[in-house]
């Protein structure tokens, strides 16, 4: 629909290009995705999450010396302030982890020496710090709400390995660490998805990095976005057994139920991340002795695709993967944030470096102009 001034209403901003970016090349028609020119499959298989962070923050894969520098900076930033741990202890035990995380990011901003400095170098320092601290905060909050003491970060583990260690208190195997590391890479960046767009909108007002990330977390939480992974696992748990998939699918299709983990605004030929995560989930479910979740997902995928041509998105196979790695279901979205913060912060840096206020228009469809009615003259 055209507005009176000639501008056009585009619901959900579908197909609208709102920023130039050097970070993510998303080819939805052909189901291809690359970060700074590198195919996602190559990065997931051959690069570590630390290398991907460096790539997104600096535009190039690091040489060995540069990687050491980025890795050491991430390790050095892992501790979170004592006051934040104390705050977690004061939060109601039932607080959902994403809400706790939003509060944690706001608080980490209060303790950050560069909090209000939006210069390129300061933003990069904050990107490193917050990427590290976010992982520690998620695990510490989870341990405290579960009545356990937080596990101090281990400086000899990778970002992925240390996350699992801080979550469980046990050092993960190399195979488990690699699967988790690859999933962080697969979630690290995805162009102008709802949460990244949110971080850009906030940044465009010349607000700061912590405020933008806190906003991104709020957008990611919704079930149409990152919250879908958790919903997928709840669906699989509801189905319970492989033998129940057909009956579940028939009922869900008849009820025209929205099936979490299926469909995508941009991908029509398939989400390349889902294909990689499918392989990781198969291996992890087999290794952990919980293969039924993978089998169930494969059967559900086939049934729903045959009936509605819906493709599984990134959140579909990550659900059985994370579950078999021992991640609690309500931590799936925080885990997605653990990866996506690399992309959020890279987008924030890019937006600050070439900023224009993001301010679209609304198409007013309410009452026409009318005379003001004083309070005493209004009806009940």
What are the structure tokens assigned to 98, written together? 């994403």
Q: How far is the CB of 307 from ligand ACO (least distance, A)?
A: 10
Closest residue to ligand ACO in the complex (CB): 263
Q: How far is the CB of 296 from ligand ACO (least distance, A)?
A: 17
| Choices 23-31, 150-158, 199-207, 312-320; region in contact with ligand ACO by CB under 6 A | 312-320
How many residues contact ligand ACO, by CB under 6 A?
A: 18
Cβ neighbours around 85 below 10 Å, total? 17
Residue 172 region by backbone torsions, left for phi larger than 0, else alpha for psi between -120 and 50, else beta: beta
What are the structure tokens assigned to 76, written together? 């050095």
Among 181, 208, 271, 315, the active-site one is 315
By CB under 6 A, name the one of 41, 91, 310, 329 that touches ligand ACO: 310
Restricted to residues 194-223, the positions that interact with ligand ACO (CB under 6 A) are none
What are the structure tokens assigned to 372, written together? 């003001």
Cross-strand pairs, 2: 8
Q: How far is the CB of 260 from ligand ACO (least distance, A)?
A: 5
Comparison of 314 and 342: residue with beta carbon closer to ligand ACO:
314
CB 216 within 8 A of CB 312: no
Q: How far is the CB of 312 from ligand ACO (least distance, A)?
A: 8
Q: Could you please report the per-residue DSSP string of 59-85?
A: SSPPPHHHHHHHHHHHHHT----HHHH
Comparison of 118 and 333: residue with beta carbon closer to ligand ACO:
333
What's CA 31's distance to the chain center, in Å?
19
At 185 the three-state DSSP class reads helix
x/- mask, ligand ACO, residues 32-61, rule CB under 6 A, reads ------------------------------
At 26 the three-state DSSP class reads strand
Question: Annotated catalytic, 315?
Answer: yes
Comparison of 11 and 356: residue with beta carbon closer to ligand ACO:
11
Among 141, 159, 264, 352, the active-site one is 264
By CB under 6 A, name the one of 110, 224, 237, 302 that touches ligand ACO: 224
Comparison of 194 and 358: residue with beta carbon closer to ligand ACO:
194
Quick check: 226 binds ligand ACO (CB under 6 A)? yes
Question: Annotated catalytic, 264?
Answer: yes
Restricted to residues 313-332, the positions that interact with ligand ACO (CB under 6 A) are 313-315
At 353 the three-state DSSP class reads helix
Q: How far is the CB of 266 from ligand ACO (least distance, A)?
A: 8
What are the structure tokens assigned to 2, written together? 């055209």
Restricted to residues 236-275, the positions that interact with ligand ACO (CB under 6 A) are 258-265
Residue 165 CA to residue 167 CA, distance in Å, equals 5
CB 170 within 8 A of CB 86: no
Q: How far is the CB of 274 from ligand ACO (least distance, A)?
A: 9
Restricted to residues 89-148, the positions that interact with ligand ACO (CB under 6 A) are none
Comparison of 260 and 277: residue with beta carbon closer to ligand ACO:
260
Q: Could you please report the per-residue DSSP string of 231-271?
A: HHHHHHHHH-SGGGHHHHHHHHHHTT---TTB--SS-SS--
Non-local CB neighbours of 50 within 8 Å, separated by 6+ positions:
67, 70, 71, 74, 158, 159
Comparison of 108 and 304: residue with beta carbon closer to ligand ACO:
304
Q: How far is the CB of 148 from ligand ACO (least distance, A)?
A: 29
CA angle in degrees (0–180, nearest 5) for 181-133-23:
55
Query: Helices 209-220 and 194-204 sit at what angle, rounded to 10 degrees?
Result: 150
* Active site members: 264, 315
| Residues near ligand ACO, by CB under 6 A | 12, 193, 224-226, 228, 258-265, 310, 313-315
């Amino acid at each position: 629909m055209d507005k009176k001034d000639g501008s056009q209403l585009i619901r959900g901003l579908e197909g609208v290009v709102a920023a130039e970016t050097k970070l993510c090349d998303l080819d939805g028609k052909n189901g291809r995705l690359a970060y700074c020119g590198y195919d996602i499959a190559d990065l997931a298989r051959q690069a570590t999450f630390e290398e991907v962070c460096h790539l997104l923050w600096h535009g190039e894969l690091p040489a060995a010396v540069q990687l050491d520098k980025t890795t050491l900076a991430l390790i050095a930033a892992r501790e979170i302030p004592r006051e934040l741990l104390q705050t977690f202890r004061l939060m109601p035990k039932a607080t959902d982890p994403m809400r706790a995380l939003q509060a944690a990011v706001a608080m980490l901003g209060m303790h950050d020496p560069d909090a209000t400095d939006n210069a390129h170098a300061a933003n990069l320092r904050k990107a490193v710090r917050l990427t590290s601290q976010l992982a520690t905060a998620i695990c510490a909050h989870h341990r405290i709400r579960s009545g356990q003491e937080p596990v101090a970060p281990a400086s000899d583990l990778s970002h992925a390995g240390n996350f699992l260690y801080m979550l469980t208190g046990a050092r993960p195997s190399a195979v488990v660490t690699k699967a988790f590391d690859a999933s962080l890479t697969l979630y690290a960046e995805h162009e102008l998805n709802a949460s990244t767009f949110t971080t850009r909108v906030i940044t465009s007002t010349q607000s700061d990095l912590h405020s933008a990330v806190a906003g991104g977390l709020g957008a990611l939480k919704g079930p149409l976005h990152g919250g879908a992974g958790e919903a997928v696992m709840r669906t699989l748990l509801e189905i319970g057994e492989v033998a129940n998939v057909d009956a579940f699918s028939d009922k869900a299709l008849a009820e025209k139920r929205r099936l979490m983990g299926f469909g995508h605004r941009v991908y029509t030929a398939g989400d390349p991340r889902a294909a990689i995560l499918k392989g990781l989930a198969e291996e992890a479910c087999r290794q952990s002795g919980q293969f039924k979740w993978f089998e169930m997902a494969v059967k559900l995928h086939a049934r729903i695709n045959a009936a509605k041509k819906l493709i599984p998105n990134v959140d579909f196979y990550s659900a059985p993967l994370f579950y078999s790695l021992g991640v609690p279901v309500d931590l799936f979205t925080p885990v997605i944030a653990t990866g996506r913060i690399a992309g959020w912060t890279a987008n924030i840096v890019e937006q600050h470096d070439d900023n224009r206020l993001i301010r679209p228009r609304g198409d007013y469809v309410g009452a026409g102009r009318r005379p003001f009615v004083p309070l005493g003259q209004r009806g009940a």
